[in-house]
Structure 1
Amino acid sequence: MKKLLMILAVCCNIYAGHAQTITGRLVDEGGISIEYANIILLNAKDSSFVVGCVTSEDGNFVLSNTNLTAKILKLTHIGYEDLYYPVSETKTNVGILKLKTNSTTLSEVSVIGSKPIFRQKNGSMITDVAGSVLSQVHEFSDLVSQIPGIVRTANGGFEVFGLGAPIIYINNKKVQDQTELRQLSPKDIKSIELISNPDAKYDAEGKAVLKIVLLKKEDGLTLQVGSSAKQNRRSSYGNDMKIGFKHQKLSLSANFSYDNTKNRSILPQTKELFLGENTHRYTQDQTAKGHLTNGEWQINMDYEINDRHNIGVEWNSSNNKDNEHRISMLDYQLNDKVVQLTDILNDYTNKTKYNHVNLFYNAQWSKLLSSEFNLDYANNNNKYNQETNETTASVPKLTISIGNNMLDIYSGKFAFDYKLNEKLGLSWGIECNHINISGSLSSDSGNTPSSNYSDKENKYAAYAEAKLNMGDVLVNGGLRYEELVSDYKNLIDRTGDVHRHYKNIYPSISLIYNKNGWANTLSFTSRTSRPTFRQLSNSSYYSNEFMYQCGNPLLKPSDSYIAQWNTGYKFINFSASYTYMKNYISTDFYTSSNNQNQIVSSYINYDKIQYLKANLNLQKNIAWWKPSLSLGITKPFFSCEYLGEKRSCNTPQLYVMANQYFQLPASYLFSVYYYYNSGGNQGAVTLKPYQMFNMGIQKAFFDDKLSVSLQAQDIFHTMRFKETENIKNIHFQQTEDYCLWNYSISIIYRLNKVKTKYHGNTSIKNELDRL
């Protein structure tokens, strides 16, 4: 009997040893998780199939009941080389495995399928670029404008509808300037994630986050050279070059770009000032010619000490010169009678020099714990000169304004991620920023005050976040604490000194439910919007005898509380949100204390503003036709005072964005883009409808090394912004026509598709944006 029991025990032990579970995680060469990869367990003797699975969204995999003594793992995914990895009875956790990118797969094979380009994931909008028609577009600017929820701006840039400019990350590194984005090739992008309701680990000032994940390539040398030319009423051109070298653990790259942009703007405006029974009307027909030259440099080094630790340094710099020549006629009327006609010639020059250095160290201390450390320093020097020549009744008057601003930022960030088990993960971190600002602005006009000020800011932040995975349900919650201390000194009149000390806690929580391809997310976050440095300064910018602009050192940050629902199924994605914003910052008009008929433009805090927002996207691949339709609406709830009465500003804004791509034979790609905005209220401002219609065609040559693109933007010249604003006793009306229409040609040559990319991060992006 004892012998029988011993035999049974041995058999059970043998079976238990063989019936084990194999676990691990799959990443690419840059450490980015690879989802939906095939994991197959093979018999080492005859390569027969044993068991298989696919990786989860975070790259993890689990193989159960692997009762064989000699086994081989086969790991495969489109765009990567196959990996074979031996396993044994004693090694059930294989750790982190890396797949190498197959450099020939994407260039020689066109992946055509019906998988939607856009999808919902944990409350974010994911755009799958690799393998889709979007990977074939010419430039990053063409790509990003196709993402649902992102719209064109007045200056030709982009922003998230209703949220403003997003914070942008490339492989978890914050982007400091536009150079990196212009250097990006859509062919090198794996995916783009738009987070419209960021959680606690992101800076509280970020209203939206755009995360770009790149495909990783093999070692080697890369060279990219680009040139473009645009023509509307004036001609512009730009050139850029990027060279990189990657060998094993070392990655080096250098970028240079130069832009020479000439533009013309038509900016008519009318201001009416009501004082008692008198009406003062100022009408200006303005045209401006601008000339912007901008050179940007970037050098970075990234070194992988081993698979778990890497360090790097990056320096980027720019030298910008902005010249503008503006001509206008000022018609001043009192009670509909002409009082004064003045011809105004305005010559403006603004020179900016910028330098930024980032040091980083990323570490994977164990399978469970990782950290990220960043140090930053930035300096921005701005010199301003303006000459305004006003001629009234043949009598000239020259006003000269001279300004200088200096800014220094010192910043540090230390962040950790810890995974307790397959279900529970924690992340936490600390940040600190120190900012020194000094500035002066003087004008020889007797009715415009001079300024000389300094400002010091110290911000301390800490956050903690937890993620709980319960199968179909994922719960994510966190808290962020920020403390801000600033001292503003008016060096001309010390009674204007301002001391500010804010302590805030920003909670966030999200509930995510995924079932049978249907994704749903409910989330709540709290954010803040701090005034820009221009808004906080008391510098007065001279416009003409009757008008000037200045900041407001008394401005408070705006705090927002956002509840949002995101849902998506196959080619349909929808989101809806409610926003309550306290201390809303908006433009302000008032009369000068020295001259009652002189209008001052500034900024003010309103008690609150509220929004209801909704976005719908439909995208379907139909053979060679790739249509996409996005609809969005923002309904504000806001009121202000005008002529002693409360005035509601609740007109909603509706936008429609339609993208059409046509994949034609011989590597041609034809595109049609249409954007319509119904206008409506933005705070106290009322916008009239505007729209844009673009067309383009591009062709690839020499195995995709050379790309040529012809584009026609705003073909019907309808991208004009007409707005009115009624505040207190002032009615303001203007049209902003920046002549965004143009016809352009762009040529990009890539020596190869090797991608060298700096893996660091930076902790001062929001402060730089406030410039």
Structure 2
Amino acid sequence: MKIFLLATCLFLGVLSSASATPTIVGKVVNAQQQPLSLVNVVVLNPTDSAFIQGAVTDENGQFRIEVPRGQAYLLRLTSVEYEPLFKSVTSDDAGTLTLKARHYALKEVVVKADRPQYKVVTGGLSVDISNTILAHSGTATDVLRQLPRVNVENDGSVNVFSKGTPEIYINNKKVQDKSELEQLKSTDIKAIEVITSPGARYNATVKSVIRIKTMRAQGDGLSFRADNNVKYNTYWTGFQEDYLKYRHGGWEAFMDAYVFTFVSAQDPHLREEIQGSDNIVVDQHIRNMSRTWGLHAKWGTNYDFNSDNSLGFSYALTRYFYDKGYSIEGSQDIMKNGNPIGHIDHDYTSNELVGPNHEANAYYIGKLGKLGIDLNMTYLWNKNNENKLSKETSLQLHSQNVTTHHAQNNRLTAGKLLLSYPLWKGTINMGTELTSTYSKGEYRNDEGIVKSTSTEIKERNAAGFAEYQLTFGSLSANAGLRYEHVVSDYYEQGAWQKGPSRRYSDWFPSLSLAWHKGKWGLQGSYVYKTKRPSYGMLSNEVQYDNRYFYEGGNPYLRPEMVKSLSLMASYAWLSAEVGHEYTKDVMLWTATLYNGQDIGFSRNLNFDSFQYLYASVVASPKFGCYQPTYELNFSRQHLDAKGYGSGKNMNKPNFFFSLRNRFSFPHDFTVYVNFRHSFGEDYGFNHMSPTSNLGLQLMKQFCNKAWTVNLFVNDLLKTNEVKSYTYADRVNLSKYGYEYSRRVSLTVTYNFNTSQSKYKGTGAGNAERGRL
């Protein structure tokens, strides 16, 4: 904290010295009030039109130009797509300047300038949405499904190739749940940035960010949206969501209610090979299913005092009212040293109670002169309890029941402050983020087959950061430095444990350079990040799977430290990226013997070093109403798996191919045909066999887009089967089966007087929320 206070003092000193130079500021928009980037702004002498100074607008349409003191100025604004604009100014605030689109009439044919779909930005890639058929995709979720290097799973979870789960922002607001993406219409989206090298303002664990930029919010009054969904994949599931919002002037209040039911089902065949004092092989088949239904409700309000100052608060409640699971026709055949020793009929039942979970967020976004302030605060409290009964019946081996109880309680308090100020040709950002987390878990086995545990983790993280964003003509740069001090105390049965308790003090630098001109773009980045184990991974519990196999946590896990280099290039609708990561103390899921016994034990362990190379090529040409996206991804790890006891070389190259087809027809009718194929993948000690998925989506809008009917078929050919293998130290595992990914989904949406939310809170402690 002392470091942050010292940095703040230095920052304020810089501000006082920087304010001595007069600076003209302003914002450039089009006729739809959308910010325009890369507009040339030149300051001229109004007497003789002599050149004084020049700049280009940033991604928000804003510009800042230092000028001599004490005279009037003439601004000239030019862009290839718009008519030139001249504006006389006598103060340092030029206000909002509107450019008119330029049209060329040739024999009754209107030709408009065509902007590139892909544009390199600092730290990643920007994809134009409003000027493509992506604007008619449906919702933000549907748009994300079509973006390069972005994959949206059936449950709505989002992943970025080689970078994992991203933080997603709609303007300045952090997306807390996937329903927010469903509420945002694609026609309201201007552009989406996929940032694969996030800077110092983000938590050191964040490896990717998706920033969704929308059109200017319009409309007052009452608006309403209702989504009704039904899915079928042997089991019926679905949801009903109602979103109500009232806006008047600067004030807005909203309410969201989401009632859902879903089924998780598997039909796997498992094989466990344990090479201890004896060679044990367990062949297991157990079909299992669980059904959940619950409620997620959110209420919030916010007020815009003016265009620069906004205040808001939101509260969310989640509760599962029913969550039960069971197995069907489970069996195990056991062999010892090549000889069968018994057959076990195995079934289980589980009952889980989740919630009520509470989350409150508050924010203030404003300006004091040229100083920008972004303050967010978050409080989170959640809990869940699970009871499970496993019954094992055998004529050859002893029969037994295994009863387990698991309870988990988590609390999080967090705050984040970001200050920004224009400095020279860029912006300096400084701030701090503080989090305090408490996690308590209890695990009990009535029969004493596995040990009972009671663990508590108390963790505090104090961070300070600074970064400078600079735009100079076609070049832009971002250099940042983040400091994090973490104190983590671990308790077992109420007693503090020295070994698992940790203290960390780390610096995380980042640097990104980007060049963009016309249809060409180039960007290079270096970032230093960390990945901390989740609180579940740090638990000391041992979960019983069967009498020869357990899985659990590892309280001695250390965080990963990751150094990443990447290079990206783009031309119009074509982009490519290559990158390399070096990870120290990588955390990998593997298996070993449990306390030297003939029992397998799966958990996460640290390994000395791990290298990962990846490359990606994306092409998205346009053919009228048809716009395909071809994507080919490559990755390869470097891990000395054999040196760690594995019997396999796990360094084979991995290839992934996808083809997304979009057809936009008249009368608001859109068709998507998406295909993806993985040629197999090695990661850590695990191997995934080839798999593919063909999906079909039909979307039709009616009544001036008030009604939307969306039919989606996933895994049409039923080829998305799971075939995985783990080759570890004296323990080998395999899994083959189907997870009911083939499904038909129908969603009917009604919109009344829709308008985009003005809530700008980003939340705080977002990385800690993920660990919980």
Q: Same fold (TM over 0.5)?
A: yes
- The partner residue of 1:346 within 320, 345, 348 is 348
* Structure 1 residues 391 and 309, CA gap change in structure 2 (3 angstroms): same
Amino acid at match of 1:675: R
Compute the displacement of 1:604 (Å): 0.4
The separation in 2 between residues aligned to 1:31 and 1:173, in whole angstroms, is: 20
The separation in 2 between residues aligned to 1:159 and 1:695, in whole angstroms, is: 20
Deviations 1:561-594 (CA, angstroms, capped at 9, x unpaired) = 001101111111111101001111111322223x
Compute the displacement of 1:469 (Å): 2.8
Compute the displacement of 1:446 (Å): 2.6
The separation in 1 between residues aligned to 2:252 and 2:591, in whole angstroms, is: 53
- The partner residue of 1:380 within 374, 379, 382 is 382
- 2:156 is aligned with 1:149: no
Structure 2 counterpart SS, 1:146:
coil
The separation in 2 between residues aligned to 1:265 and 1:287, in whole angstroms, is: 6
Deviations 1:737-757 (CA, angstroms, capped at 9, x unpaired) = 211111121111101231223
Paired position in structure 2 for 1:287: 287
* Structure 1 residues 98 and 256, CA gap change in structure 2 (3 angstroms): farther
The separation in 2 between residues aligned to 1:712 and 1:88, in whole angstroms, is: 58
Write the mapping of 1:88-127 to structure 2, written as runs, cut at 5 A.
90-91=90-91, 93-95=93-95, 115-127=115-127
Structure 1 counterpart SS, 2:641:
strand
Paired position in structure 2 for 1:16: none
Amino acid at match of 1:470: F
Deviations 1:621-677 (CA, angstroms, capped at 9, x unpaired) = 111111111111111111224795775311122111111111223321111101111
The separation in 1 between residues aligned to 2:31 and 2:308, in whole angstroms, is: 12
Structure 2 counterpart SS, 1:165:
coil
Deviations 1:55-108 (CA, angstroms, capped at 9, x unpaired) = 55341358999xx999999999999xx9x9x976633632456999xxxxxxxx
Compute the displacement of 1:155 (Å): 5.8
The separation in 2 between residues aligned to 1:182 and 1:342, in whole angstroms, is: 46
* Structure 1 residues 604 and 645, CA gap change in structure 2 (3 angstroms): closer
Deviations 1:114-148 (CA, angstroms, capped at 9, x unpaired) = 64543322342222222422222233332211111
The separation in 1 between residues aligned to 2:118 and 2:259, in whole angstroms, is: 34
The separation in 1 between residues aligned to 2:395 and 2:111, in whole angstroms, is: 71
The separation in 1 between residues aligned to 2:255 and 2:553, in whole angstroms, is: 38
The separation in 2 between residues aligned to 1:141 and 1:308, in whole angstroms, is: 29
Paired position in structure 2 for 1:666: 667
The separation in 2 between residues aligned to 1:64 and 1:469, in whole angstroms, is: 14
Note if contact 2:172-2:760 (Cα within 8 Å) is conserved in structure 1: yes
Paired position in structure 2 for 1:584: 586
Paired position in structure 2 for 1:677: 678
- The partner residue of 2:517 within 507, 515, 518 is 515
The separation in 1 between residues aligned to 2:593 and 2:266, in whole angstroms, is: 28
Paired position in structure 2 for 1:654: 655
Structure 1 counterpart SS, 2:536:
helix
* Structure 1 residues 31 and 378, CA gap change in structure 2 (3 angstroms): farther
Paired position in structure 2 for 1:475: 477
The separation in 1 between residues aligned to 2:155 and 2:74, in whole angstroms, is: 60
The separation in 1 between residues aligned to 2:240 and 2:573, in whole angstroms, is: 38
Note if contact 1:273-1:281 (Cα within 8 Å) is conserved in structure 2: yes
Structure 1 counterpart SS, 2:179:
helix
Deviations 1:186-223 (CA, angstroms, capped at 9, x unpaired) = 22222211111111111111111111122222222210
Amino acid at match of 2:614: K
My pick for the range that moved more, 574-583 or 754-763, is 754-763
Compute the displacement of 1:347 (Å): 1.2
Write the mapping of 1:275-424 to structure 2, written as runs, cut at 5 A.
275-276=276-277, 278-320=278-320, 321-327=322-328, 328-353=330-355, 354-367=357-370, 369-393=371-395, 396-421=399-424, 423-424=425-426
My pick for the range that moved more, 185-194 or 618-627, is 185-194
- 2:527 is aligned with 1:525: yes
* Structure 1 residues 286 and 119, CA gap change in structure 2 (3 angstroms): farther
* Structure 1 residues 37 and 709, CA gap change in structure 2 (3 angstroms): farther
Structure 2 counterpart SS, 1:648:
coil
Give identity over the alignment, percent: 24
The separation in 2 between residues aligned to 1:682 and 1:250, in whole angstroms, is: 50
- Unaligned stretches of 5+ residues in structure 2: 1-21, 44-53, 101-109
Deviations 1:371-426 (CA, angstroms, capped at 9, x unpaired) = 111111100111111111111129753221112111111111111111113x1321
Write the mapping of 1:502-651 to structure 2, written as runs, cut at 5 A.
502-593=504-595, 596-641=597-642, 644=645, 647-651=648-652
Deviations 1:493-525 (CA, angstroms, capped at 9, x unpaired) = 766762200111011112222234311111100
The separation in 1 between residues aligned to 2:605 and 2:637, in whole angstroms, is: 18
Compute the displacement of 1:610 (Å): 0.5
My pick for the range that moved more, 659-668 or 609-618, is 659-668
Note if contact 2:387-2:404 (Cα within 8 Å) is conserved in structure 1: yes
Amino acid at match of 2:353: K
Compute the displacement of 1:355 (Å): 0.9
Note if contact 2:373-2:417 (Cα within 8 Å) is conserved in structure 1: yes
The separation in 2 between residues aligned to 1:486 and 1:89, in whole angstroms, is: 56
Note if contact 1:221-1:754 (Cα within 8 Å) is conserved in structure 2: no
My pick for the range that moved more, 465-474 or 607-616, is 465-474
Paired position in structure 2 for 1:185: 185
Note if contact 2:55-2:473 (Cα within 8 Å) is conserved in structure 1: no
Amino acid at match of 2:601: V
Structure 1 counterpart SS, 2:651:
coil
| Aligned-CA RMSD value | 3.4
Paired position in structure 1 for 2:103: none
Write the mapping of 1:14-53 to structure 2, written as runs, cut at 5 A.
24-26=26-28, 33-35=35-37
Amino acid at match of 2:250: K
The separation in 2 between residues aligned to 1:417 and 1:62, in whole angstroms, is: 14
The separation in 1 between residues aligned to 2:751 and 2:705, in whole angstroms, is: 8
Structure 2 counterpart SS, 1:256:
strand
Note if contact 1:114-1:621 (Cα within 8 Å) is conserved in structure 2: no
Compute the displacement of 1:768 (Å): 1.3
The separation in 1 between residues aligned to 2:582 and 2:730, in whole angstroms, is: 27
- 2:485 is aligned with 1:489: no
The separation in 2 between residues aligned to 1:495 and 1:23, in whole angstroms, is: 56
The separation in 1 between residues aligned to 2:601 and 2:508, in whole angstroms, is: 35
Calculate the TM-score normalised by the size of structure 1. Answer: 0.87
The separation in 2 between residues aligned to 1:246 and 1:74, in whole angstroms, is: 35
Deviations 1:663-718 (CA, angstroms, capped at 9, x unpaired) = 22332111110111111211110111111101121111000111111121110111
Structure 1 counterpart SS, 2:537:
helix
Paired position in structure 2 for 1:717: 718
Note if contact 1:166-1:207 (Cα within 8 Å) is conserved in structure 2: yes
Deviations 1:29-74 (CA, angstroms, capped at 9, x unpaired) = 9998443679999xxxxxxxxxx99855341358999xx9999999
Compute the displacement of 1:163 (Å): 1.9
Compute the displacement of 1:545 (Å): 2.1
The separation in 2 between residues aligned to 1:669 and 1:283, in whole angstroms, is: 47
Amino acid at match of 2:561: D
* Structure 1 residues 736 and 628, CA gap change in structure 2 (3 angstroms): same
* Structure 1 residues 486 and 75, CA gap change in structure 2 (3 angstroms): same
The separation in 2 between residues aligned to 1:78 and 1:204, in whole angstroms, is: 39
* Structure 1 residues 386 and 64, CA gap change in structure 2 (3 angstroms): closer
Paired position in structure 2 for 1:13: none
Paired position in structure 2 for 1:136: 136
Compute the displacement of 1:156 (Å): 6.2
Amino acid at match of 1:214: T
Compute the displacement of 1:184 (Å): 2.5
Paired position in structure 2 for 1:14: none
